[in-house]
Amino acid sequence: MPPTRLSCLALLTVSLLGAGCAAPGAAPALTPDDQARLSRLLPADVLLVGKQHDAPAHQQLQRQLIDWLAARGQLAAVALEMAEQGRSTHGLPPQASPAQVQAALGWRDKAWPWRAYGPPIMAAVRAGVPVLGANLPASAMRGAMADARLDARLPPPQLAQQQERIRTGHCGLLPESQIAPMARVQIARDMAMAQTLADVATPQGAPYASPGRVALLITGNGHTHRLLGVPRFLPPTLSVRVLSAQSRPASGAPVPDAADGALAEGDLVWPTPALPAQDHCAALRQTHARPAASGQAGKAP
């Protein structure tokens, strides 16, 4: 499980300028073949871009996709899992500084390193495209954990699958009593992101929505799963497409997003080079063992 994503899950338990100039540090342009593949996803009201949170190639793809859509005049807004619902760069000028953008989004660098996510976000800002926080606010998470009504938002088989993903995503270290509350938070987060996209992509979403433009969501692959994630909670009137970036091991077979527990179903799977092998569960076990060890050290023999 990627470290940044791991931190987020642990918390749940307690370019182009509008004038046509290239943004600083622009990513390599998409090849004609890549552009042709992406064009098959359009037109769409909503495009979900799923990724692995620790894959630099996926963050580069986000930047390339934003540049490409903005240059074509097809990008309505960029929504982020990495910022809370209600946060927005709307009203900031294209020349806004990174510090201004981070302040507008309430950015949490420890959870989501700006060095990784800043380039695609700033590409959207430079293009005059609003960037919106889409995730469930932290202040609402405790209430979501206790809200048993959220269990009914997924059919029983899908609810069981979501709970199993929570269980395996935490390497079996969560007490069983926390599985259902954590799954509720995941459902609430998917609903919040869906609501943000619906607010942008429906006709009432002015000034963002307009014919021929797409609202783009950047999130982890698990949130783009059609049966479990954000797509389930979007209005059926919206045209929704899913692009799932996936790292491949040496064998060439696609691998799931380790943070989200299952390969997201997508309209287009975008393969990228394999990441170095890491035992994220070992790191999590050490984190869980550390408080217990220090507590025992403070006790009298």
Q: Residue ranges per domain, the chain? A: 37-78+139-285
Mean pLDDT of 189-211: 83
Chain segment 143-189, per-residue pLDDT in tens: 999 999 999 999 999 999 999 999 998 888 899 999 999 999 999 99
Chain segment 218-245, per-residue pLDDT in tens: 999 999 999 999 999 999 999 999 999 8
- 217 and 76 Cβ atoms separated by less than 8 Å: no
- Answer yes or no: is pLDDT of 200 > 50: yes
* Omega within 30 of 0 (cis) for the link into 276: no
The residue among 255 and 57 whose pLDDT is bigger is: 57
- Answer yes or no: is pLDDT of 137 > 50: yes
| Closest among 176, 171, 188, 216 to 64, alpha carbons compared | 216
Calpha distance 239→121 (Å, rounded): 24
pLDDT value, residue 186: 97
**What is the 8-class DSSP label of residue 147?**
-
Calpha distance 180→159 (Å, rounded): 9
Calpha distance 222→239 (Å, rounded): 20
Residues 6+ apart with CB under 8 A from 292: none
Q: What angle do CA 70, 76, 78 make, to 5 degrees?
A: 85
pTM: 0.81
